[in-house]
Amino acid sequence: IDASDELLLLDEEDTARIPFKIGSVFVMYDQESMEKRLDKMRKELNMEISATTELNDKLQSEMAELKSRLYAKFGDNINLETEKDD
């Protein structure tokens, strides 16, 4: 369950101080600050995922191009296929 959904389920008295673990330390937040913190973290993670996905697509394309060049040069004398784990 998403952490922000869990915040909605808390009673009013429970939201006065919400522990949030950063490294090995717990920092206490109120509900509004915690929601802002979680929203900021979610946006940062989505940006990181997008950047990683974009880089992966670029590298996959580059690998396909290199594989094509190598097969054109060496034909069936080389095997560039990766083994997939089952």
Question: How confident is the model over 40-50, as pLDDT tens digits?
Answer: 999 999 999 99
Q: Is residue 86 part of a domain?
A: no
Give residue-wise pLDDT tens across range 38-78: 899 999 999 999 999 999 999 999 999 999 999 899 888 88
* Number of domains the chain contains: 1
pLDDT of residue 82: 75
Burial of 38 (0-12, 13-18, 19+ CB in 10 A): middle
Please give the model's pTM, rounded to 2 decimal places: 0.66
Q: Which domain holds residue 55?
A: 3-11+20-75
Q: Is residue 83 part of a domain?
A: no
pLDDT of residue 51: 98
> In angstroms, what CA-CA distances link 11 with 8, 14, 17, 82?
8, 5, 11, 53
Q: Is residue 82 part of a domain?
A: no
Q: Is residue 54 part of a domain?
A: yes
Give residue-wise pLDDT tens across range 1-34: 477 777 767 766 666 788 888 899 999 888 888 8
Q: Is residue 39 part of a domain?
A: yes
Tell me how far apart the alpha carbons of residues 58 and 11 are, in angstroms, rounded to a whole number. Answer: 47
